[in-house]
């Protein structure tokens, strides 16, 4: 099924880039854009909204402390409001790109992000439910 949506431009730069990438760069981390994925948030009784998910290469530690090969990581950023407010770490408080977590748009393009979020959820009960 093909879905269309209007691209949400709230967290895009004037040249069409993603503000979250700029924020990672402004925190002093190198960024290589590896892949881009358009995603669509399907909404009932509203227009669908489009977002861009971008896979980036960067470092898990600040460049002054990092080994350029050992500390190389790949992660995703999205320009949706939820990612910007809930999943993008606060670099000014000592966080690094390794602390980035996945919003639902990132999960839709990256199965390993979805699995990591699933593993982070707590088990509902310590004992199995009986079928009596």
Tens digits of residue pLDDT in 84-118: 899 999 988 989 999 999 999 999 888 766 565 55
| Residue 35 parent element (H or E) | strand 32-41
Q: What is the pLDDT of residue 18?
A: 74
Backbone angles phi, psi at 3, to 5 degrees: -120, 145
Q: What is the pLDDT of residue 101?
A: 93
Nearest alpha carbon to residue 69 among 54, 86, 57, 83 = 57
Backbone angles phi, psi at 18, to 5 degrees: -100, 125
Read off the pLDDT of residues 63-82 as tens digits, 9 standing for 90 and up: 899 998 999 999 999 988 89
Tell me the pTM. Answer: 0.74
Tell whether the model's pLDDT for residue 125 goes beyond 70. no
Cβ atoms 90, 27 nearer than 8 A: no
How buried is residue 58: exposed, middle or buried, by Cβ count under 10 Å (0-12/13-18/19+)?
A: buried
Give 8 or 51, the one with higher predicted confidence: 51
């Amino acid at each position: 099924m093909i879905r269309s949506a209007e691209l949400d431009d709230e967290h895009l730069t004037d040249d069409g880039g993603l503000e979250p990438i700029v924020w990672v760069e402004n925190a002093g981390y190198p960024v290589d854009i590896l892949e881009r994925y358009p995603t669509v948030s399907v909404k009932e009784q509203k227009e669908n909204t489009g977002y861009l998910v971008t896979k980036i290469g960067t470092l898990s530690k600040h460049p002054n402390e990092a080994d350029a090969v050992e500390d190389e990581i790949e992660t995703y950023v999205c320009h949706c409001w939820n990612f910007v407010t809930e999943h993008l770490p606060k670099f000014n408080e000592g966080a690094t790109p390794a602390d980035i977590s996945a919003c639902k748009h990132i999960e839709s393009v990256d199965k390993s992000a979805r699995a990591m979020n699933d593993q982070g959820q707590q088990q509902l009960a310590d004992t199995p439910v009986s079928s009596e």
